[in-house]
Amino acid sequence: MLRSVNEAKTETIFEDYVKNYADAVALGTTNHDYLYERQTSENDKIKKSLIGASKKDGTGKGRPDFIIQSRKNFDFVIAVECKADIKFHESKTGDRYADYAVDGVKLYSSFLSKNYDVLSIAVSGENTNELEVSYFLQLKGEQTATPIFADKLLPLDDLYGGYIKSPEKFRQDYQTLLVFSKSLNEKLHKNKIAEDERAFLIGCILIALENDNFAKTYAAYTNSKQLADYLVKTVRNAFENDRIGEKKLEVLDARFGLIRTNTTLSKNLAVLKEIIADIKDNIQDFIRTHKYYDVLGQLYIEFLRYANADKGLGIVLTPPHITEFMAEVAEVNKDSIVYDNCTGTGGFLVSAMSLMIKDAKGDQDKIKSIKSQQLIGVEYSDKIFPLACVNMFIHQDGKTNIFHGSCFDQEIIKEVEAKNPNVGLLNPPYKSDKKSDTDEYEFILANLECLTQGGKCVAIVPMQEALATTGKVYEFKKKILQKHTLEAVFSMPDELFFNSKVGVVSCIMIFTAKRPHPADKEVYFGYYKDDGFVKRKNKGRIDLFGKFEGSAEQDYKDGIKYQWITNYRNHKNAAGLSVLQKVTADDEWCAEAYMETDYSDLTVDDFAKVIKDYTLFSLSIGNDDEK
């Protein structure tokens, strides 16, 4: 089928556009970061990928109107199909490849995606005023192409940036990271590097690799002890140059000593070099692409999944999608001053930083202020504190106000209060059965007392804290309501901490600081038990289908997180999801106690499942009813 003269107009419009951003392969110029070709490609891999992608009979070679490649990433291609008449932009059936632009370009994408991440563009119209444009992203190995971007021609850098930062690409990269972290964990275990030292070692290597001299010269070292010393010296100098303070350097020095004295790292040159190279190839790029994701915290969780080192400390690391959700619920913005008095690895501060920098919209002075003045943390553990420092440094922040000590220390409290924090985010250490353990509410109260009046505190704690109506915990509930307002409580998924191998059922509480709880206050209770995550072998609990974040096509409004946040902000009373209720300390603070069940969605299958589950449960424990 010969292309019409009118279709040539559409192709000319697109070529005039693409010339602003890409070089024609035939010209051999290097003015731009992109290359484009018409109809066919000189790239053998692309040629082979398109075999069988003929729009006519599915046997010949596919010939997209344009093929665009990025010089920055040769694993990414753009395929373009043009049609003159906007009536032939997309068919209802999606399989009229020769006649419709969307149908045709998605066919090409299905073949190219066997070897590439593919952005496909369908363009229809004979002039720029009536042009119809559709974009689809199909990642390597995926079966479907997902709509992305607006209905207009965008600069290629915007398209590339959108692809790199898309939820789909993040999920793909994250899955790759999880696979790598498992193999890295096995390698570190084999080489006798302790579980609680692994994340710190990786963090130090990542900091060292940001030093150009280290990145270029580490491979030339022929002595393992000298390389280990060089690694430590590079990291220490980075902290010292950032004026982190002598007290913090002393604590870090103690941890640096583990790298210098570890038998494997100081005596086995091949292993140390291999670890550095692996991290450079598999983690550094992820961190550069997904800047404000708490990679180090996730690796720490992964490394401790098969160890019991942290259970005695009560440390339960919050999953990143929950730290992000909590920061959004707290309405963190560029002017927030965020305080986490149980900092851990720094996950809440990283999530808060991400929102704050996004809200700063490129204002570099504001971003500098955010990183150096508006993030405050306190961490007690000698082992975790250095990891928090390293983690924040990786996110280009060596001067964050992270204090080493107790959040109940009066000197630290004075320093924190002087900074006027107005947002509190925390996951306090979960107490054991020992009566001497500090209660979770004590950490919440310590956080609230440091916030300015009207500030928001968002904490995730065991559900038992919400249910207590007698005893010590009940007294803390009364104490909190005397000074502060309970705004909301969310019942969270039962297996939220599955990746940390902790079986705590949790809830998220939201308070307004230094405003006594009004007697007529209606508190929002959310039944947020389903976050869309699923369990997968060797990967833990993951958002495999993107249900929590939602899709770019729907502007993320189809995501569970969006529903949770908007329902809370608007204080909606929704059957099966939320309820408004006046409460005191004498009441249970959870949705389950007050929520009405929506029976309209129940089916026979739901009933059968409950009966089956109960039967299996009864058999597993032995049913005494018949005795």
Token pair, residue 187, equals: 């390698």
How many angstroms separate the Cα of 526 from the Cα of each of 310, 580, 583? 30, 9, 14
Check: CB of residue 84 under 8 Å from CB of residue 10. Answer: yes
Confidence bin at 308 (pLDDT 50/70/90): very low
Residue 189, pLDDT above cutoff 70: yes
Burial 400-437 (b: 16+ CB within 10 A, else e): bbbbbebbeeeebbeebeeeebbbbbbbbbbbeeeeee
At residue 540, what is the residue type? Answer: G
Check: CB of residue 548 under 8 Å from CB of residue 532. Answer: yes
Confidence bin at 5 (pLDDT 50/70/90): low
pLDDT digits 0-9 by tens, 419-453: 999 999 999 998 876 667 899 999 999 999 999 99
How many angstroms separate the Cα of 44 from the Cα of each of 24, 115, 287, 359, 582? 17, 12, 32, 44, 68
Is 503 exposed, middle or buried, given 0-12, 13-18 or 19+ CB atoms closer than 10 A? exposed
pTM: 0.76
Hey, is 603 helix, strand or coil? coil
The beta-carbon contacts of 378-382 under 8 Å, at least 24 apart in sequence, are: 378/340, 378/341, 378/342, 378/343, 378/402, 378/403, 378/405, 378/406, 378/407, 378/412, 378/416, 379/342, 379/343, 379/344, 379/403, 379/404, 380/404, 380/405, 380/406, 380/407, 381/313, 381/315, 382/251, 382/254
Question: What residues does each domain of the chain span?
Answer: 5-165, 166-290, 308-530+570-601
- Closest Cα to residue 507, out of 463, 441, 443, 442? 463
Residue 524, pLDDT above cutoff 60: yes
**The CATH number of domain 308-530+570-601 is 3.40.50.150:** yes
Q: Which of 55-59, 330-334, 425-429 has the lowest mean pLDDT?
A: 55-59
pLDDT digits 0-9 by tens, 354-402: 999 989 988 989 998 998 899 999 999 888 898 888 888 887 775 668 9
Q: Tell me the pLDDT of the chain averaged across its residues.
A: 87
What is the pLDDT at residue 294? 73
Crossing angle between the packed helical segments 384-394 and 295-304, to the nearest 10 degrees: 140
What does the pLDDT average to over 540-551? 86
Token pair, residue 238, equals: 């980075």
Token pair, residue 134, equals: 């559709």
